[in-house]
Amino acid sequence: MHGATTIILIASAAFFLPLLAGRLRVPAVVLEILFGIVVGPVGFGFIEQSELLDFLAEFGFFLLMFLSGFEIDFGKLGRQGPGQIFIALAIFASTLVLAYFAAHRLGYGPFVTLLLATTSMGLVVPTLRGSRRAQTRLGQAILMSAVLADFLTLLGVTVVALGFEHGVGWQLLKVPALFLIITIFLVALRQAAWWFPERFERLFSPHDPEELGIRASLAMMFIFVGLSLALDVEPILGAFLAGTVFALVFRHRGSLERELSGFSYGFLIPVFFINVGVSFQASALLEPGALKRAGALILAALAVKLIPSMLLLLQRIRFRQALAAGILLSARLSLVIAVASLGVRIGVLNAEVQASVILLAAVTATFAPTLFRLLVPPLPAPDTKTDP
């Protein structure tokens, strides 16, 4: 009976929560996490941890990482030139240095350094699209910084996790081994797409009854996840790299991106965030000094993004816009929660830090996009009127 209740509640929440989030003007993810807390063991206890919920949540998690790589527009990034890449790398390096000192000051280890260095492509991209600034110089600078932060942080987390689980040794060579295999796969796929383009056109056809595009995407994701597991590398890196390879080979993805997003964000990804709420341990924040430490972590997470964003002034971006960029980049959501969950699983983070991270994600995901729009108002919509 518990399994049936779980399915009914989650399916209902996946439909109704985005509608409520739109009226409240908060990200749906925040409500999904709160819903999980309310119906989970901390709240009314309608939903408990189960194999079914864990499976659906992990599937949604892989899709979330896959889409994070899948949504990267390498065409736009390639047109920005080396100067933009250098500034984005400088911003990330500054963030990493500040995050290290902040984590050390708060009494945390290197894993929290990487945790503080994350950002949220899942919030950055919709916010820039909604304000119609994705194609502006400011928007492209923010996108480049977000892409590098997500990719380099995920890579760093994988290496650190391997180090904690197996120690510093030959096991760390598994990461470059994974990259070598994926590079060979990438080259082979690009050659195949180049020589036989007509064979790949069906992947992006909106009228394909077999939905080969969806099948190919999921197959690639699970193949890369399987390779990661075989090499004892975190599977989230494999899922992310699968999406990245797909985006790198197929620059024009037609309706496939919309179909994949609808399939993923429509149910499975919300299950992941609801499961985060279900597993939330509120009691950890009731420990003496826990809320104070959580507040300090939130302030540190803001500072390590706001200060480096001032480097955008070197690109002749105004101070107000640079400040807005720092605020938007300080928004954390899916990746920071994923990193915290991984940290708990391998034993380098405790429940209190994980609860603090969920609180951090809820606060920044709610307020950062709103503050960005206040500092940098949306551009007017293009005139689409046509003469009769």
Report whether 144 contacts 135 (CB < 8 A): no
Architecture of the structural domain at 2-375: Up-down Bundle (1.20)
Residue 316, pLDDT > 80, answer: yes
Residue 273, pLDDT > 90, answer: no
For 114, residues 6+ apart whose C-beta sits below 8 A from its C-beta are 99, 153, 156, 157, 160, 339
- 366 compared with 142, residue with greater pLDDT: 142
Q: How many CB atoms lie within 10 A of CB 306?
A: 18
Paired tokens of 107: 């009494």
Q: What are the tens digits of pLDDT across the range 217-250? A: 899 999 999 999 998 887 888 898 898 888 888 8
In terms of Cα–Cα distance, which of 334, 327, 335 is closest to 373?
A: 327
Residue in the block written with tokens 């100067």: 83
Average pLDDT, the chain: 84
Residue 337, pLDDT > 90, answer: no
Q: Which pLDDT score, from 0 to 100, does residue 301 have?
A: 94
Residue 260, pLDDT > 60, answer: yes
| 354 band by pLDDT with thresholds 50, 70 and 90 | confident
Q: Which pLDDT score, from 0 to 100, does residue 382 have?
A: 67
Q: Which pLDDT score, from 0 to 100, does residue 309 have?
A: 96
Indicate the pTM of the whole model.
0.79
Q: Which pLDDT score, from 0 to 100, does residue 1 have?
A: 46
Is the CA virtual torsion 127, 130, 135, 136 positive or negative?
negative
Q: What are the tens digits of pLDDT across the range 34-79? A: 898 899 888 888 887 788 888 888 898 888 888 878 877 777 666 7
If you write DSSP's letter for every residue of 25-46 in order, what string do you get?
TS-HHHHHHHHHHHHSTTTT-S
Buried b (16+ CB within 10 A) or exposed e, 227-254: bbeebebbbbbbbbbbbbbbbebbeebe
Residue 284, pLDDT > 60, answer: yes
Q: What are the tens digits of pLDDT across the range 79-131? A: 766 777 899 999 999 999 999 999 999 999 889 999 999 988 777 877 887 78
Q: Which pLDDT score, from 0 to 100, does residue 21 have?
A: 82
Q: Which pLDDT score, from 0 to 100, does residue 18 have?
A: 87
Q: What are the tens digits of pLDDT across the range 184-224? A: 999 998 888 888 877 777 777 777 777 788 888 899 999 99
Q: How many CB atoms lie within 10 A of CB 50?
A: 14
Q: What are the tens digits of pLDDT across the range 152-183? A: 898 888 888 887 776 666 777 888 888 899 99
User: How far apart are alpha carbons 40 and 34 in whole angstroms?
Assistant: 10
Report whether 212 contacts 202 (CB < 8 A): yes
Paired tokens of 81: 């030139």
Q: Which pLDDT score, from 0 to 100, does residue 80 have?
A: 66
User: How far apart are alpha carbons 324 and 157 in whole angstroms?
Assistant: 27
